[in-house]
Amino acid sequence: MEAFVNVDERLGRVHGQHMDDRRRHVIESLRWQVDNTSDPVTAAVLRAAAEDAERGGPTWDRLAPHAELPPGAAIALRLAGAAHRLALAGEAPEYAAHLPTCGGDGDTKAAAKAFVALMDDDRLDLRPVQTNEPRRTAPLAAAFHVVHQRTGLPLRLLELGASAGLLLRFDDYAYELGSTVAGNASSAVRIRVDLDGPTPAVGPTPVVARRGCDPNPLDPASPEDRLLLLSFVWAGEVERFRTVEAAIDAAAADPAPVDRADAAAWLADHLAPASGTTTVVFHSIVQQYLSPATRSGVNAAITDAATRATADAPLAHITFEPGEGRAETRLTLWPGGEEHLVAVSGFHGSPLDWRGYR
Ligand SMILES: C[S@@+](CC[C@H](N)C(=O)[O-])C[C@H]1O[C@@H](n2cnc3c(N)ncnc32)[C@H](O)[C@@H]1O
């Protein structure tokens, strides 16, 4: 907030007038993202964009039509993703030359200069942010395993906001948890996670059915959808980028079904507990995108199904959602219905502090 007041005062002095509220909102969004990005390349390009917008440069012209978007729409990530997409597609070679994900040199100053130079380019397409982060399966796989151990039954997985379905395929992946390798050790998809606590067990967990929903499901076999997903991985995070690439490739060969649907309506249709299996509803970094009506529809469907859960047809709800500055994985199992905080982690799943079902 301080920085924002100073920016306003400086511009007021320069132009002798109050800065337009819309521009202030955009600059604030860019600067917030700079402070909340672990990747130095993304931080550098967004800092340069904020400075350019302050000067009233081309970044402001590019962002002005999107200035009314709410903070949750992450205008900074839309902009970074749009430029990254052009670079990955070979359509912005001067920018790609400095991006590690494109084989570039990682020179943050040069990347920032090339990024601002792109702002005049009408091919920049500020599409809504859509990610699918396979590393989040580390705490989720451990939570699924707890559910299986406690119920003794195979799982039927229902994912809300499944994107390209990469998390639904958790049992296809190898888990490198500190110095331990678990899961499908020969998998091309390596989920490498630093540990802040004990090593969790991530399987074996039998799964008899898996299905997800998303208003905009992405097809891992489609080159456009692949490019879209990869463009929202930060351009300096090569290892993460390679993991997402490997997970998309594996899903293209054997996709998990994802229905085009809003979470509430879809869940009401799919949720009835089934004898001989544990029904597991889960979601990761989805709650903030749901309308109040969808949220209450999801809650109502789970509350209703919970009343019908039995030892032979149990129900679990697992959430990987923001907590105090980190992501929290919470598990509730019915019959019973007590919520357990089973893990705390980074927003992409690492580092992972496994707390267990206590
Ligand atoms: C940040 S992404 C997370 C994707 C995935 N869960 C993950 O962790 O990698 C949020 C997802 O929620 C989806 N979403 C937005 N509104 C939704 C709704 N009403 N019902 C279900 N999913 C929704 C988006 O399309 C997007 O795929």
Q: Is the pLDDT of residue 254 over 90?
A: yes
Q: Is residue 151 part of a domain?
A: yes
155 & 297 share domain:
yes
- Rounded to the nearest angstrom, the distance between the alpha carbon of 283 and the centre of ligand 1 is 8
| 163 and 285 housed in the same domain | yes
- For ligand 1, say whether the CB of 44 is within 6 Å of any of its atoms: no
Q: Among candidates 57, 118, 116, 127, which has minimal Cα distance to 93?
A: 118
Among 168, 286, 294, name the best residue to mutate to test ligand 1's pocket (greatest count of ligand atoms within 8 A of Cβ): 286
147 or 6, greater pLDDT? 147
pLDDT digits (tens, 9 = 90+) for 198-227: 999 999 999 999 999 999 999 999 999 999
Cβ of 55: how many Cβ atoms within 10 Å? 12
Place of tokens 């990347």: 111
At residue 13, does pLDDT exceed 70? no
Is pLDDT above 70 for 25? yes
The token duo for 172 is 């296809």
Check if 329 has its Cβ closer than 6 Å to any atom of ligand 1: no
Same domain for 138 and 105?
A: no
142 shares a domain with 114: no
Going by alpha carbons, the residue nearest to atom 23 of ligand 1 is 161
Kindly state whether residues 87 and 232 are assigned to the same domain: no
Query: Within this chain, do residues 81 and 141 fall inside the same structural domain, yes or no?
Result: no
**Cα–Cα nearest to 51, from 115, 123, 94:** 115
Taking CA atoms only, the protein residue closest to ligand 1 atom 19 is: 262
Same domain for 172 and 305?
A: yes
* Same domain membership, residue 140 and residue 15: no
What phi, psi does 154 have (nearest 5°)? Answer: -70, 165
Q: Ligand 1 centre from 54 Cα, in Å?
A: 32
φ/ψ (deg, to 5) at 89:
-80, 0
Average pLDDT, rounded, for the chain? 93
Considering the domain boundaries, does residue 45 fall inside one?
yes
Please state, in angstroms and rounded to a whole number, the distance separating the CA atoms of residues 206 and 144. 10
Of 109, 47, 114, nearest to 84 by C-alpha is 114
- Domain boundary (118, 145, 164) is at 118
Q: Whose CA is nearest to atom 9 of ligand 1?
A: 132
Q: What is the domain range of residue 79?
A: 2-118
Question: Which amino acid does the sequence have at 195?
Answer: L
The verdict on residue 129 lying in a domain is: no
pLDDT tens track for 66-86: 998 887 788 999 999 999 999
| Ligand 1 atom closest to residue 216's alpha carbon, by position in its atom list | 25
Long-range contacts: 181-190, Cβ < 8 Å, 24+? 183/141, 187/250, 188/246, 188/249, 188/250, 189/134, 189/243, 189/246, 189/247, 189/250, 190/243, 190/246
> Which of 163, 228, 348 has the most ligand 1 atoms within 8 A of CB, as the residue to mutate?
163
Q: Where is the domain boundary, 59, 87, 118?
A: 118
Count of domains observed in the chain: 2
Regarding whether 108 and 257 lie in a shared domain, the answer is no
Helix (H, G, I), strand (E, B) or coil at 339: strand
Residues 11 and 100 in one domain: yes
Residue 124 lies in a domain: no
Which of the listed residues 76, 93, 118 is the one where a domain comes to its end? 118
The Å distance, Cα 165 to ligand 1 centre, comes to: 10
Nearest CA to ligand 1 atom 11: 161
Same domain, residue pair 20 and 74: yes
Any atom of ligand 1 within 6 Å of the Cβ of 225:
no
What's the 128 CA to ligand 1 centre distance in angstroms? 11
207-214 and 258-260 strand pairing: parallel
Helices of type H across the chain? 2-15, 21-35, 40-54, 58-63, 75-88, 93-96, 108-118, 137-151, 223-231, 238-253, 263-270, 292-308
Query: Is residue 335 domain-resident?
Result: yes
How close is the Cα of 289 to the center of ligand 1, in Å? Answer: 7
Q: Examine the domain organization and report whether 102 and 13 are in the same domain.
A: yes
The predicted model gives 117-145 an average pLDDT of 97
Residue 188 is assigned to a structural domain of this protein: yes
Minimum CA distance residue for ligand 1 atom 8: 284
Amino acid at 36: N
Has residue 18 got a pLDDT over 90? Answer: no
19 confidence band (pLDDT: 50, 70, 90): low
The verdict on whether omega for the bond into residue 351 sits within 30 degrees of 0, i.e. cis, is yes
**pLDDT computed for residue 20 by the predictor:** 84
17 pLDDT above the threshold of 50: no
Whether residue 174 lies inside any domain: the answer is yes
Please report whether residue 128 resides in a domain. Answer: no
Give percent of the chain with pLDDT exceeding 70: 95
